[in-house]
A and B are shown apart, each in its own frame.
Chain A
């Protein structure tokens, strides 16, 4: 009991002392931030050391404080020991509160492992990555972080944060416009397809029928043999025209795409590629991918069809494989063949040689999807299309 009483007596003294030391520290920090300190004394293991702030450092400090990028310095474990006012504004947290917190805690939880991957090995030349910083109001600020090692591994780390909100918003806008454009294009394709089928094709059927009536009448005595013999040629030309309009109508807007899953559309496409181009497609649909919205389904259908046309035109084989699979967070589609292949690295850099492929790639990229091509001469071609879950409905 006497011991406890003495401890109780000591608490107010210690609290007072801690309070006084805290005030002193805060005053020191304020003085440093306001450039009122030219040097300070540090008590290190090997004795007292005086660290001076040369006059030449003052302009740099002023520059860092006034620049439009957020600047943060950290100790190796990620604890912040300095941030400029721009960084503080960016995430709407006072710089005093930020000092001594872990930088990793400011990164959106789902991106922390990606951040750690570059944070732990930034190197002298720095590493960059795009992340979301969590603001005090829980909203996300998209930033590009450039991370640099200061000195050796035991020294600190500097991070420059560039707010990319405007760029991200612009990309979203482009994506939305591209989606609208794809929608408009699809509607126009459907309209033209309908005109071809509902009107032009019907007129051709009617003309062909009328010609068949004429041919069936006994006209040999009434018209010249030369005109009569032309009937067969005209009928053949009409049949060809009907076939062309029919194929065009179907290719412009395959009816199978209206309300069906991608797997069913692929079954139809496999049949059609076999019928029209003798290309045998081995379709492995592990998933039907029926949760894609109609516009995304159309885009994927057109992309796969173009890649299969490339097999017909360039691969020198009449077999290809298409796989459809739903992975954890994305749809995964592959199109491959064992044909001639090509130097993918070189060809994809040439806008003339890879015109078609680059258009497919760009259209997929704009809607947040990706197309990666792997090919070497003599080793076939392997294409992978990935659709992130959040992009499956536009």
Chain B
């Protein structure tokens, strides 16, 4: 079973994502971190197969966290998750090294994106790929 680090500061949303990843994707969320700093502690303590990172986090942003992860753990794929679809966020995320960007609007699409990235691919939610940002 693939292990995922979920970085999401909203508790209810984190619960829903853990549930969806487990029930709809058969993935295990190894840890839930509420901040970038907590995420880095988790990564220093255990290995995971993917980091699913919210773009907007308190203090250090999700995009900055991905840059740090890519420096320290270049093999670890990161997928961004956000409620914001602005092209600027998407571009900055991909520039930071994220393998994809999914929107919270569609929970099944989030699971689909995680699967694609774990399989070695890249993934953008349809709305972003279609340029409707």
B9, B23, B86, B105: the one contacting A208 at CB < 8 Å is B105
The reply to whether A209 and B83 contact each other, CB–CB distance below 8 Å, is: no
Complex: how many Å from CA A189 to CA B13?
Answer: 24
Q: Is B128 an interface residue (CB 8 A)?
A: no
The reply to whether B107 and A202 contact each other, CB–CB distance below 8 Å, is: no
User: What mask results when residues 190 to 233 of chain A are scored 1 for a CB within 8 Å of chain B, else 0?
Assistant: 00000001110111011011101100100000000000000000
The reply to whether B83 and A205 contact each other, CB–CB distance below 8 Å, is: yes
The reply to whether A212 and B107 contact each other, CB–CB distance below 8 Å, is: yes
Q: Which of A205-264 contact B (CB under 8 A)?
A: 205-206, 208-210, 212-213, 216, 239, 242, 246, 255-256
Q: Is B38 an interface residue (CB 8 A)?
A: no
Q: Which of B17-37 contact A (CB under 8 A)?
A: 17, 19-20, 23-24
The reply to whether A203 and B105 contact each other, CB–CB distance below 8 Å, is: no
* A372 → chain B closest CB, angstroms: 34
The reply to whether B107 and A213 contact each other, CB–CB distance below 8 Å, is: yes
Q: Is B46 an interface residue (CB 8 A)?
A: no
A residues in contact with B84, CB < 8 Å: 197, 246
The reply to whether B13 and A205 contact each other, CB–CB distance below 8 Å, is: yes
B15, B86, B88: the one contacting A206 at CB < 8 Å is B15
Given A197-B56, A197-B83: A202 and B12 interface contact (C-beta under 8 Å): yes
Q: Is B59 an interface residue (CB 8 A)?
A: no
The reply to whether B83 and A206 contact each other, CB–CB distance below 8 Å, is: no
Given A209-B107, A213-B20, A213-B23: A246 and B12 interface contact (C-beta under 8 Å): no
Select from chain A the residue with minimum beta-carbon distance to B110: A209
Given A208-B107, A212-B108: A202 and B13 interface contact (C-beta under 8 Å): yes
* A267 → chain B closest CB, angstroms: 10
The reply to whether A205 and B104 contact each other, CB–CB distance below 8 Å, is: yes
A216, A242, A256: the one contacting B83 at CB < 8 Å is A242
Complex: how many Å from CA A268 to CA B88?
Answer: 10
Given A197-B56, A197-B83: A206 and B9 interface contact (C-beta under 8 Å): no
A residues in contact with B12, CB < 8 Å: 202-203, 206
Q: Is B16 an interface residue (CB 8 A)?
A: yes
* A90 → chain B closest CB, angstroms: 57
The reply to whether A202 and B108 contact each other, CB–CB distance below 8 Å, is: no
User: What mask results when residues 63 to 86 of chain B are scored 1 for a CB within 8 Å of chain A, else 0?
Assistant: 000000000000000000001101
- The 9 A-B residue pairs whose C-beta atoms are closest, nearest first, are A209-B107, A202-B10, A205-B104, A202-B13, A206-B16, A206-B12, A209-B16, A206-B13, A201-B83
CB pairs A–B below 8 angstroms (19 shown): A197-B84, A198-B9, A198-B10, A198-B56, A199-B10, A201-B83, A202-B12, A203-B10, A205-B13, A205-B83, A205-B105, A206-B10, A206-B12, A206-B16, A209-B16, A209-B17, A213-B19, A213-B20, A246-B83
Known A212-B107, A239-B105, A268-B88; 11 more pairs at CB < 8 Å: A197-B56, A197-B83, A197-B84, A202-B12, A202-B13, A205-B16, A206-B13, A209-B17, A212-B108, A213-B107, A216-B108
